[in-house]
């Protein structure tokens, strides 16, 4: 097979070059299925033009409620000529197109459950982590993306330095909310007994969402940072260990 | 096999005699698996003494945070000598004990997903429906249960007539929240394509939770009521149709 192209946003460090939660979700899917692919790096201000050129659909609307909003990941598959945007659509496309490669990410009878899981996980954890890591995410970018990211995010969130100020009560409240959200997810995992993944012995897409969020936090906060230490240690160290299980699928091609 | 005993709380009409969401969850599980059982009716003030006599565990704590709170459903299985409380525990027990009878309610690899589904469904719909039907639920009970239910619920919720007053802005806000919650669940179902159930062609425990909530609303509001008409018509009539699919598993033995 020819290499699939995965479009991703670069971070400014070599170690944390792939950092974005959503593009990691697509990469984890490719790695789990053992498919040949290569990453093309795209800075934020260039995403829209690239998507239009590839014919990739917008993933939603900008905050004005009218203008299409183009985001990554996008994959381009020269084997089929298909261009797919949005990480869960990528996972579903790979399941359907390469059904004999690696585990199914949406096994039969799990589509509705995984949709509910996604909603619940995103509201319990993703949107709570988002403000906690927004400043670190911005600082992790190359200059052109940094400027774009800060300007567009500050339009709705205000100054990024003020979102979760370190060592303040406001900041601690956000951290507490994050721990509550992760604890909720840890309780869901208990219903799976001793199995490491939501899917049991092998990951499904729901697991990818959890891993994608954790690797984002680890890469923008820094693996040796106090903040990543705090997240990885939550719920008896569950999340640091969970991400360790993903090292086998964390290669960047 | 000997008949399993299902302990349930009676409503005051013959048609709506079985009305409780949680005990319907256990009954649906028994009916889906085609197991022999009979219902024993227990009024609210008698539940605690019954549970203690059977050795059924409390399902939680009362609002004082200390006193054990005993609830139904409880099943007593003379074939194994086991007494099981809590509807999801009943479903798991039946899956394990009668593994060749009817569909699996917790198929392999769905435990964690169903735990997340339950959390998300209960917060999006169940706890929003609860105030909407609390007064109708109370009025649906026989005198001893009516008095017990009203007194214990009003300790925390205030006068039941004031919770969702008909035709008021406060009431309409609750109805709007319910429609938003049901719409969220309808979107999850879309991820399953044309399949009727969360589980696909056959129901799993997540489906039972949805059906149990709907049959509760239908029975306490009344099948010909304006209010049940409103719920069943939400999302293009999806919920009335969903509950019709359950008539085959709605017998009361």
Inside any domain, residue B48: yes
The pLDDT of residue A165 is 87
- CA distances (Å), origin B52, targets B23, B40, B200: 18, 16, 39
pLDDT band for A167, please (50, 70, 90 cuts).
Answer: confident
Q: Which runs of consecutive H residues, i.e. helices, occur in chain A?
A: 21-32, 47-54, 87-97, 111-121, 127-139, 143-157, 169-190, 205-221, 226-245
pLDDT at A64 over 90: no
Q: What pLDDT score does A199 carry?
A: 96
Angle between helices B111-121 and B205-221 (to 10 degrees): 30
Nearest to A72, CA basis, from A120, A95, A119, A40:
A40
Looking up residue B56, the CATH number of its domain turns out to be: 3.40.30.10
Mean pLDDT confidence for A178-194: 96
Best of B106, B126, B191, B208 to disrupt the A interface by mutation (most A CBs within 10 Å)? B191
Query: Is residue B200 less than 8 Å (CB to CB) from chain A?
Result: yes
Q: What is the pLDDT of residue A54?
A: 97
Q: Tell me: do A39 and A15 sit in the same domain.
A: yes
Confidence check: pLDDT of A170 > 90 = no
Nearest beta carbon to residue B110 from set A110, A121, A189: A110
* Overall size of chain B counted in residues: 253
Asked if residue A102 belongs to a domain, the reply is no
Whether residue A153 sits in one domain with residue A230: yes
Distance of CA B188 to the CA centre of its chain: 20
Instruction: Return the pLDDT at B237.
Output: 97
**Chain A residues with CB inside 8 Å of B119's CB?**
120, 184, 188
| A210 touching chain B per CB within 8 A | no
User: What is the per-residue pLDDT for B41?
Assistant: 98
Q: How far from each other are the two terminal CA atoms of chain A, in whole angstroms?
A: 15
Kindly provide the b/e burial profile for residues B22-55, where b requires at least 16 CB atoms within 10 angstroms of the residue's own CB.
Answer: bbbbbbbbbbbbebebebeebbbebbbebbeebe
Q: What is the ipTM of this complex?
A: 0.93
A60 within domain boundaries:
yes
Chosen domain end from B57, B73, B97: B97
Tell me the mean pLDDT in the region B50-66: 93
Is pLDDT above 90 for B167? Answer: no
For residue A115, the chain B residues in CB contact (below 8 A) are 187-188, 190-191
Angle in degrees, 0-180, between the axes of helices A143-157 and A127-139, rounded to the nearest 10: 140
Q: Assess whether pLDDT exceeds 90 at residue B166.
A: no
Take residue B188 and report the two structure tokens written for it: 């999850």
What is the average pLDDT across B105-128?
A: 97
Q: Say if residue A63 is in the same domain as residue A140.
A: no
**Subunit contact B192:A111, Cβ cutoff 8 A:** yes
Q: Is residue B106 part of a domain?
A: no
Q: Rounded to whole angstroms, how far apart are CA atoms A30 and A6? A: 9
Output the average pLDDT for chain B.
96
Least Cα distance to B207 among B253, B252, B248, B174 occurs for B248
In order of A90, B70, B125, B221, B226, the CA distances from B60 in angstroms are: 43, 7, 21, 27, 35
More confident residue, A65 or A92: A92
Boundary-marking domain end, from B64, B97, B130: B97
Whether the CB of A180 is below 8 Å from some CB of chain B: the reply is no
Write phi, then psi, for A111 (nearest 5 degrees): -60, -50
Q: Please state, in angstroms and as integers, the Cα–Cα distance from residue A213 to each residue in A22, A171, A187, A209, A232, following that order.
A: 8, 19, 18, 6, 12
Contact criterion met (CB < 8 Å) for A107 and B108: no
Q: Does A116 lie in the same domain as A156? A: yes
Task: Calculate how close chain B gets to A206, using CA atoms only, in Å.
Answer: 8
Residue pLDDT, tens place only, A237-252: 999 999 999 999 999 9
Dihedral sign for Cα A18, A20, A24, A27, please.
negative
How many Cα atoms occupy the beta-carbon half-sphere of A50 within 13 Å?
23
Domain total of chain B: 2
Q: Does B107 touch chain A (CB under 8 A)?
A: yes
Q: Most A CBs within 10 Å: which of B113, B190, B192, B208, as the mutation test of the A interface? A: B113
Among B97, B121, B154, the domain-final residue is B97
Shared-domain flag, residues B153 and B241: yes
Q: Quote the pLDDT of residue B215.
A: 98
* Structural tokens at position A191: 């219903």
Structure tokens at A251: 């290669």
Q: What angle do CA A125, A127, A131 make, to 5 degrees?
A: 110
Sequence-separated (6 or more) residues with CB below 8 Å from residue B244: none
Separation CA B57–CA B35 (nearest Å): 23
Contact A84, A23 (CB under 8 A): no
Decide if pLDDT at B40 tops 90: yes
CATH number at residue A231: 1.20.1050.10
**A-chain residues within 8 Å CB-CB of B195?**
112
Structural domain boundaries enclosing B199: 111-249
On whether both A41 and A91 belong to a single domain, the answer is yes
- Asked, for residue A103, whether it belongs to a domain, the answer is no
Whether residue A82 is found in the same domain as residue A206 = no
The pLDDT assigned to B165 comes to 87
Concatenated DSSP letters of B38-100: EEEE--GGGHHHHHHHHTPPP-EE-TTSSSEE--S-EEEETTTTEEEESHHHHHHHHHHHTTT
Do A118 and A243 belong to one domain? Answer: yes
> Do B200 and B115 share a structural domain?
yes
DSSP H helices in B159-225: 169-190, 205-221
On whether any CB of chain B is under 8 Å from the CB of A242, the answer is no
Q: How confident is the model at residue B170 (pLDDT cuts 50, 70, 90)?
A: confident
Tell me: the pLDDT tens digits for A94-123?
999 999 999 999 999 999 999 999 999 999
Nearest CA in chain B to A186: B112
Whether A114 and chain B come into contact, CB under 8 Å, resolves to yes
Q: Chain B contact for A110, CB < 8 A? A: yes
Is A133 part of a structural domain of the chain? yes
Residue B103, in any domain of the structure:
no
Same domain, B150 and B225: yes
Both B205 and B137 in one domain: the answer is yes
Flag whether A106 is in a domain: no
- The alpha-carbon gap from A112 to the nearest alpha carbon of chain B, in Å, equals 5
Q: Smallest Cβ distance to B188: which of A115, A188, A192?
A: A115
Same domain, A241 and A132: yes
Residue A63 has pLDDT above 90, yes or no: no
């Amino acid at each position: 097979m020819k290499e699939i192209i995965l479009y991703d946003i670069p971070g400014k460090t070599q170690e944390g070059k792939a950092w974005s939660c959503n593009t990691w979700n697509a990469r984890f899917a490719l790695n789990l299925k053992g498919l040949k692919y290569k990453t093309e790096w795209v800075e934020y201000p260039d995403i829209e033009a690239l998507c239009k050129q590839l014919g990739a659909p917008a993933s939603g609307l900008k905050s004005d409620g009218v203008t299409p909003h183009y985001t990554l990941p996008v994959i381009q598959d020269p084997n089929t000529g298909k261009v797919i945007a949005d990480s869960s659509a990528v996972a579903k496309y790979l399941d359907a197109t390469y059904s004999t490669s690696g585990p199914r990410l949406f096994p039969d009878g799990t589509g509705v459950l995984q949709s509910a899981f996604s909603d619940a996980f995103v509201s319990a954890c993703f949107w709570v982590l988002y403000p906690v890591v927004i400043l670190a995410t911005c600082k992790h970018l190359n200059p052109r993306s940094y400027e774009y990211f800060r300007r567009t995010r500050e339009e709705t969130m205000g100054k990024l330095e003020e979102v979760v100020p370190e060592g303040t009560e406001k900041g601690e409240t956000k951290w507490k909310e994050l721990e509550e959200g992760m604890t909720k997810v840890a309780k869901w995992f208990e219903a799976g007994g001793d199995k490491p993944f939501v899917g049991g012995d092998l990951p499904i897409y729901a697991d990818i969402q959890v891993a994608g969020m954790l690797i984002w936090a680890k890469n923008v906060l820094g693996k040796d940072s106090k903040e990543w230490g705090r997240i990885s240690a939550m719920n008896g160290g569950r999340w640091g260990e969970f991400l360790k299980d993903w090292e086998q699928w964390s290669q960047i091609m």
